[in-house]
Every structure is written in C-alpha cells, then in structure tokens.
Amino acid sequence: MVSLETIVHQKQSGGILSNTNIQYIVNGYTSGVISDDEMTAWLNAVFQNGMSHEETLDYTRAMVNSGVTLDFSHLPGYVLDKHSTGGVGDKVSLVLGPLLASCRCYVPMLAGRGLGHTGGTIDKLESIPGYKTALSLTEFQKVVETVGVSIMEQTKEICPADRKIYALRDVTNTVASNSLICGSIMSKKIAEGVQGLVLDIKVGNGAFMKSLEQAKNLGILLKEVGELYGLKVSTCFTDMNQPLGQTAGLWCEVLESVECLKGNGPSDLMEVVYHLGSKALEIAGIENSKETLKSNIKNGRAFEKLHEMVFAHGGNLDGLNNPRLHKPKFRKEIFAKEDGFIGKMDTLQLGQAVVQLGGGRIQKNDKIDYSTGIRFHKKIGDSVNKGEPLMEIFCSDSERLKMGSKKVKGIIQIRGGKTINYPLILA
C-alpha cells in the first residue's frame, strides 16, 4: 500500500487512483486513521482535479460498503425516493415525501443537514418539537412499513463514510464536485433499498450547477451509477436563479411546507412538487399521476401522512399554531430603493445570508437557530415601487441580524423594464 501522502500527491497531479487507494481513503477516514486535515487535502485535490468515471464508481461503492444496506422488497407497494442537489428555499422533500406516501408508495428517505449555502432537510425537521431524526434502523423500517414515509438522518450503520465526509465537505468548500456529489447522493439511495429515484438537479446562481450543461453531466453520472445498482432513475432539472417558495430558513420552511400540504402552497413550489411527484409515480407505474397528487392534497390525505410521520418520529405538530414557537426576537425589512421590476436575485448570497443569520453552519459544530429565515415579498418579474418591502429577515441574535442585513443589501436588482421569468422546469 502506498502512503496517504503519495495518494494525495497523485490526485493533486491529476492522476487516476486505484480502487484499493480509494477504499483506503474512505475506510481510513471513517475509522479515524486519517485525520480531518489529511482528508481535507484529499478532498481539495479531488475538487481541483476531479475523478474519472471509474474512480467515481469506486468511490460510491466504497461509501455503500462502509455500512449496511436495507431491504424493503417485502412491501406491497413501490419503494421510491427523491433527492435534490440543494438550493435556497428548497423544502420539496417535506412536501413530496408525505404526498407520495399518500399515493400508496413507500418512501424511506435519508436526508442531510445544510451543506454550504443550501438548507438541510434534517435541520428543518429538527425544528419540530420532539421530532427524532436519529432513529435506529429497526425504528426507521417500522415507520416506513406502517406510515409509508420516514425522513431521518444517516445512521452510523448506513453509509457512515458519507456521514462523516459530508460534514467535512460542508466546512471545507469542497461541495461542488460532481464525483463527490454523486458518491454522497447515490451511496445513501442505494443503501436505502429503493427501487426508483427521482433526482432534482438544481441549475442557476443559487445552485452548485451554474449551467444546464453542467447539470446534465452530473445527471448522466448519477443515472449511470444508479442503474448499475438496479435502480430506475429519472433526472429532472429545475431553476435555482431565485429561492423556491416564499421562505428560506428552518422553522419558517416547515410552516410553508404544511401550507403546501393543506393546498395553500405558492405556485412555484407546487409546480416543482407536482413535476417531481409525477415523475416518481410514473416510475412506480401509477397512471394519472399529476391528478392523483393534486387529489391527495385536496382531500387531506397528504397532510395526514405528514401528521403520521411526525408522530411516529416522536414529534408534535400541535406547535404549528403556537405563535411563541421559534419566534424570532429580531426582524428587519429590506425596502426597494427605486421603482421598476425585479430583474435578478443573487440566490447564492441569499443562501449565505441565511447561514450568516444562524440558519447554517460556518464551523462543523455550530449550533442552529431555528427561528432564522428570510421571507420574500417579491420574486423575479414582479413590479415594485420605491419604499415597498422586498423581503424580511429574522433571527434571535441582534449582531447576526446586522451581519445578515449587510449581506442582503444590493442582491436584488431592480430594472426599469419588465423582465421575463426563468422557466422553473428546464429539461
């Protein structure tokens, strides 16, 4: 076996690593033999020089083999999952998981925490009083079998390598690498034991993929890896040149998701939900997919599934009507400085502002402020008058509010002429 230093140098020089060397890196870091600093050097080398197709397959395989895999083949319905590459205000999983379960599908979903400037489903769910994101595998399987959907964080048993590497990537600016993204996403989905997977690959200034071409390259890679493991994979590409929905943050996104399941969701968010949901049901062989999804929103079955899932995880949705729960101590509105139309948003900066406010982690062990968030009053293409509020930022720390206020200044551009909205569904 060559030394770790040699392996890192080889990748820094653009070399191709063997399966044995990749296994050594993954297993060594998981077991603690390789330190955070040593792993960071390797991640930076991969980030700068990429991985070959074979290296990516080997990396994904090593991540899967670092833990156990689940088997849901005994269930009387199709086993599905959905995954997003991450965006600002992207709370689709909170809506779509219960919605698919209401359509007689089973959804075992292993979700992540915030990564870089993007929000994490697990951080959002932990804002619900009592909600346990760390279930045992036995508990997880039971919830999936009885409720139809369970969303939890990775356990020590499932892809422990990814769990540890994921947290390190978040604080070392090594997120936007196709190979690392592929390994992280597909290892969890393969280990979940799903039959079908819908991938929502975000594109735009608030996504890791800035162009549709980049996104399609990632989509091809993800689909190939998934199909090698027998999964049916559908790739979708959606816009992230502005936040999705009306809020970005933690508790505020949970509240917005509830409104979606009650039939009161914003049109842009629901368009993405229905598009991804239709693709998922098509994989499962369920006809009239979009109509079925809309019907289960209207008749309340989807919202009931959310209730059941939260209760099964030890949580309580009664707090939804509690005005004191995660009530931010400080708020500030950002106003338009001129008349015109919203022409552009720097969505990356908006995501970073949420982190600055306390809704994400700058250091690996940072605590989260669940009250943090941004509410958007205007979106691209909307008309605006001077002095009209563009957004409201809120959190529970006055100093963070000041920093967040500075961060959001000037990141919404107002133009004199009417602008054309970006299409939400790109391909």
Q: Which residues are catalytic?
A: 83, 162, 169, 184, 188
Determine the Cα–Cα distance for residues 70 and 301; give it in Å rounded to an integer: 27
- CA nearest neighbour of 150 among 277, 306, 258: 306
- Contact 273/265 with Cβ under 8 angstroms? yes
Nearest to 251 by CA among 365, 374, 151: 374
* Distance in angstroms (rounded) separating the CA atoms of residues 247 and 261: 16
Run of H or E including 382: none
Q: Are 412 and 189 in contact (CB under 8 A)?
A: no
Tokens 């509240």 locate to 255
Contact 257, 91 (CB under 8 A): yes
- Report the interhelical angle of 212-228 vs 53-65 (nearest 10°): 50
Residue 131 near residue 310, CB atoms below 8 Å: yes
Between CA 136 and CA 147 the distance in angstroms is: 16
Please report, as a single letter, which amino acid is at residue 338: E
Question: And the tokens for 293?
Answer: 């999804």
Q: Work out the burial of residue 207: count CB atoms within 10 Å of its CB; fewer than 13 is exposed, 13-18 middle, 19 or more buried.
A: buried
Count of CB atoms situated within 10 Å of the CB of 259 = 18
| Joined tokens for residue 357 | 């406010």
Measure the CA–CA gap between 109 and 327, rounded to whole angstroms.
Answer: 29
Residue 89, by phi and psi: left (phi above 0), alpha (psi -120 to 50) or beta? Answer: left
Q: Is 358 left (phi over 0), alpha (psi -120 to 50) or beta?
A: left
Q: Are 26 and 59 in contact (CB under 8 A)?
A: yes
